[in-house]
Amino acid sequence: MSRERDRLEDRLKRLQSDEEKRRMSEVDSQEQQRLVDRWIRSIGPVVGAKVENNTLMLTLGEGVGPMSGRRILVEFSVLGNVVSVRTDDGRELPPNFNHDTLMRLLSEFTGALSLTTAAAAWAATGLMATVFADGAEPAVKVLTNSDFLMWTKDQSLALVEFYAPWCGYCQAMAPAYEMAAEALKKDKIPLAKVDCTAEIQVCDDMGVEGYPTLKVVRNGAFAPYNGTRQEASIVDYMRRHSKPALQKIKPVHFDNFVDSGHIVVVGFVDDNEADLAALKSVAEESFDEYLFGYVSDKSVAKKFGVPYPGIAVFKDFDTRKDVFGFTRDADRLRRVVRSSSIPVLGELSVQTFGTYVRSGIPIGLLFYDGQEMRQRLQEEFLDLAIKYKHDVSLALVDARIYHKHAKALNLQSKWPAFAIQEPAKHLKYVFPHFRVLTAEKVGDFVGDFVSGKLEPNFKSQPIPAKSDAGVFDLVAKQFNEIVFDRNKDVLIEFYAPWCIYCKRMAKAYADLGETFRGNPNMVIAKMDGTANDIPSGDPGFQFPGFPTVVLVRAGDNAIIRYNGDRSLDSLIGFIKKHAVHSSTHEEPVVIEKASEAQQHVYIEAPKNALGYTPKETRHIEL
């Protein structure tokens, strides 16, 4: 007993020591930041800048205190983090000279600093900085609570970014956003940004739920930006939105037209309503993604090796051009255009994931953990990717970066690995880990998927032992059996063990289970959303965060989202209003089984529904 007490006392002393070290570290950091602030105030305007070998060299103006005419060398890691800051005579500056501090310094750029140099500086640092060159206006307009509405109402076409300075994704996108703004100046398409940590009212009014959020604005009306976060994509997207969905191309302008976008779809057809109907239909629905045009000159088709009538997809990657016979079938046209928009065995990343998802084609993910393995997979699987490009888009994924996405697909940490993902249906198909991953075996697996022979994989906890508790522990293996029993109303709370809001609601939800214990036609259930997949693609089960509560109503299986507070009375009131069997005590009933073809009904809740998780806690890996 004495030895156990001694061990506990030793552990307590260590914890107290660690706490004191942490507190002293915070004090030291505060003192260091004060040194940095004093140093920043002591320097003058930057009159020159140069980027060389991961080092940004800043030249200060003459006659501005002790740093007059000196050069500051800021060294970065390959990830854009500040490694060291020193003067040209080797004097080290305060060690916590960080991104925020550097942004304050960059904001002083004047005089000799060109926009080209500024772009290079952003690319080297990965920072978001407003840079003034030769007295010019900043490329990106900074909006505040006071001028947001007036400015956006005056813009015929513009793009606005809602960001937070601490957001890593915002910092990563910053150089591309700044350079896109500079490129779009000649098109008179302005780009703006709003700091949501400072301009809280604007961001709340705009319904910003995560960072960065980008919105296209036309005379005060907003629409989501559906492009990627790369400079070329932003520029291409905004230029497309300045033109009609389907443009008639004059032969003399043809070369310029096909070079004006990342992906350009051209119909070589006669100028009549029957031939243009399908092309126009697909152009209007895909306006966010591709540039569409048509030409009615057979000589142009001959020059580019396209049958007349025909379709060509011009792009700035892999095959450069895909050619198809003309079709008036809009669905077929849509499929060939979308499949051509995806690189053959391209790289899947946070920047490109949206493009793959919007294509509507299932994604075959090949995970690798090193460049040597990547090169081998690229060579071995290229022919397979070409063979199935219209059915499954094979893509390479770096498991070292996107290991969380691999885990979400139920992959083990053994590489290489392969899985097929259907984002639209929330389904995944995992290539067995015990099989050697070869192009031949993966080809058979993909072939079985295309033929409809594979069953999707679902992560699930074990089926729990029977319990008389008021709240039923639901797992993926029992989901469809329990949830879609048309004889019963089923209320489900999707929770996460770490979610503080779920913990606060736990007692009220347990009391709710006890309240309806005497009603066999009402199931009060909860499901750990981090340990179980939802084996249903129904939109009613797609939710933004934890906790989310939904009712699957008896009879028609309508899915109704709960939008009340976390009190017992509110939960009971919701059941009384929407459930078929809303009494606390009932006799069992049996409803005649409905046709399998009958679709579930989803009733959306307002944006302030319980399932909302504050943007500070949300994270999406891809």
Q: How far is CA 600 from the centre of its chain?
A: 28
**φ, ψ for residue 124 (rounded to 5)?**
-75, -35
H or E element that contains 501: helix 500-515
Q: Out of 170, 203, 395, 406, which one is annotated catalytic?
A: 170
Q: Out of 164, 502, 550, 572, which one is annotated catalytic?
A: 502
**What residue type is assigned to position 341 of the chain?**
S
How far is the CA of 215 from the CAs of 163, 220, 221, 621, in angstroms? 12, 11, 10, 21
Write down the residue that tokens 């090169």 correspond to: 375
Instruction: Evaluate whether 258 touches 327 at the Cβ level (below 8 Å).
Output: no
Is residue 167 among the annotated active site residues? yes
Q: Out of 216, 291, 483, 499, which one is annotated catalytic?
A: 499
How far is the CA of 489 from the CAs of 9, 97, 302, 553, in angstroms? 54, 59, 64, 5
Q: Out of 47, 167, 263, 394, which one is annotated catalytic?
A: 167
Full DSSP string of 570-609: HHHHHHHHH-SS-SSS-----PPPPPTTPPP-EEPPPTT-
CB contact burial 315-345 (16+ within 10 A = b; e otherwise): beeeeebbbbebbeeeeebbbbbbbbbbbbb
* Cα gap 198→205, rounded to integer Å: 14
Structure tokens at 228: 């990627």
Is residue 196 among the annotated active site residues? no
The distance in angstroms from the start CA to the end CA of the chain is 52
Q: Where are the beta strands (DSSP E) in 379-488?
A: 393-398, 417-422, 427-430, 472-473
Residues acting as catalytic residues: 167, 170, 499, 502
